[in-house]
Amino acid sequence: MNETTFHWLMPLGVKNDFVFNPSARDFMVEEIPLYEASGEGEHLMLQVRKKGLSTFELLDLLSSRLGIPKRQIGYAGLKDKHALTTQYLTLPAAYETELRTWEHPQVKILDLQRHGNKLKIGHLKGNRFRLRFKKVLGVQKEKIDRVLEWIEAYGMPNYFGLQRFGITGENWKQGRALVRGELRMRDRKMREFLIGSWQSRLFNDWLSRRVALSRLLEEFEEKEVERIEGLPVDTLNGAQKQPHFFKILRGEVMMHYPYGRIFTAEDQIAEAEKFAARDRAPTGLLPGRKVRRADGAARILEEPFDDPKIPEQGSRRYAWIFPDGIATRYVQEKAHYELSFTLPKGSYATVLVAMLKGTFV
């Protein structure tokens, strides 16, 4: 794979040429909280709507306005700058009076209530998205409809979106250089962020490899795919007859869906059937310390995308997700296609768009 571009493979061979320019008018995101505000406590939970600002820029605004360190502001997830987004924050309750009167042209506080604890990353259920595509004519609409039908039936790969890799798409290179000792950085938060980008790159490369194998298994027998891909004999044994597009391998690390414990698959066929029923899903490796690696055949495909030198905590990430609540509206006279759906936390709407287009752009 070319180091300066991203060619991660999609499950379908569809290519589509509609227009999607992320903006506050055409891209809306609403965070779904993990729990409601308690109504009492030493913190304030704010529901905030913003446009033209990243979450970090919003934190800078609040920090400057209130004269407090950013570390005192809690948030559950990062929201896109190029969208109209609604998310939840927590701040010390001592600033309630000032926050109730604070105004900013790009920010509106929709709700403010007392709460017992500070929000932390991951304290959300997921996100609701509303998108508008333009210049969607007859054949483009038919292609979008067809891919969405497939997604409703099978779900989609849980790639990290391109925004995970920075404006130039090369944050991961700095992360790799840090891991290899070729770069030094004193800022711990930035160091962790850049190494996280390298972990994300390895995950995406692994996932693309697994999607490629699943596509090949639609056309060729297991033994043929093993020969084509230079895999050991029986690596793909038991994969082809599985009901889902994405094939479960022996030794796969699974996780109950949409959340739950991680475990290693012991019965490949039974796990494949439960995956097709959306009871659980396979996971991919974010390399690092103290993380479960796959076994057997699944490890053969995972190992080339592992980096044992990464000093940060590793984890597992769903390789596959199932969007909920997909709804569409086509405005023929404007050639606009409106789409709404819900994704679990940590998943990217831009990946669903990439699947509709057939490529990352």
pLDDT tens digits for 195-215? 999 999 999 999 999 999 999
Of the chain, the percentage scoring pLDDT greater than 70 comes to 99
- Does 265 score more than 80 pLDDT? yes
Mean pLDDT of 85-94: 95
HSE (CB half, 13 Å, CA atoms) of 353?
A: 26
Query: What pLDDT is stored for residue 215 in this prediction?
Result: 97
Lowest mean pLDDT among 23-27, 166-170, 335-339: 166-170
Query: What pLDDT is stored for residue 160 in this prediction?
Result: 97
In one-letter notation, the amino acid at residue 111 is D
Query: What pLDDT is stored for residue 102 in this prediction?
Result: 92
Mean pLDDT of 18-23: 94
User: Is 297 within 8 Å of 134 (Cβ atoms)?
Assistant: no
Query: What pLDDT is stored for residue 1 in this prediction?
Result: 44
Mean pLDDT of 72-95: 94
Quickly list H helices, the chain.
Answer: 55-66, 96-101, 138-154, 171-180, 188-216, 222-229, 268-276, 296-302, 349-357
Q: At 59, list the tokens.
A: 């934190």
- Does 249 score more than 80 pLDDT? yes
User: Could you tell me whether strands 84-92 and 336-344 are parallel, antiparallel, or unpaired per DSSP bridges?
Assistant: unpaired
Provide the 8-state DSSP code for 180. Answer: H
Mean pLDDT of 281-298: 97
Catalytic residue among 80, 187, 205, 267: 80
Mean pLDDT of 220-244: 96
pLDDT band at 129 (very low <50, low <70, confident <90, very high): very high
pLDDT tens digits for 293-351? 999 999 999 999 999 999 999 999 999 999 999 999 999 999 999 999 999 999 999 99
Q: At 92, list the tokens.
A: 């010390």
Region label for 122, one of left (φ > 0), alpha (ψ between -120 and 50) or beta (otherwise)? left
In one-letter notation, the amino acid at residue 19 is V
Of the chain, the percentage scoring pLDDT greater than 90 comes to 92
First to last CA, the chain: 16
Burial classification of residue 233, based on how many CB atoms lie within 10 Å of its CB (0-12 exposed, 13-18 middle, 19 or more buried): exposed
pLDDT tens digits for 32-82? 998 889 999 999 999 999 999 999 999 999 999 999 999 999 999 989 899
Dmax of the chain from CA atoms? 69
In one-letter notation, the amino acid at residue 105 is P
- Annotated active-site residue 234? The verdict is no
Mean pLDDT of 102-131: 94
Mean pLDDT of 164-184: 94
- Does 5 score more than 70 pLDDT? no
In one-letter notation, the amino acid at residue 24 is A
Determine if the peptide bond prior to 33 is cis (ω within 30°): no
Query: What pLDDT is stored for residue 18 in this prediction?
Result: 96
Mean pLDDT of 170-178: 96
Mean pLDDT of 268-295: 97
pLDDT band at 123 (very low <50, low <70, confident <90, very high): confident
User: Is 122 within 8 Å of 326 (Cβ atoms)?
Assistant: no
Average pLDDT in the chain: 95
User: Is 109 within 8 Å of 46 (Cβ atoms)?
Assistant: yes
Q: At 102, list the tokens.
A: 């604070």
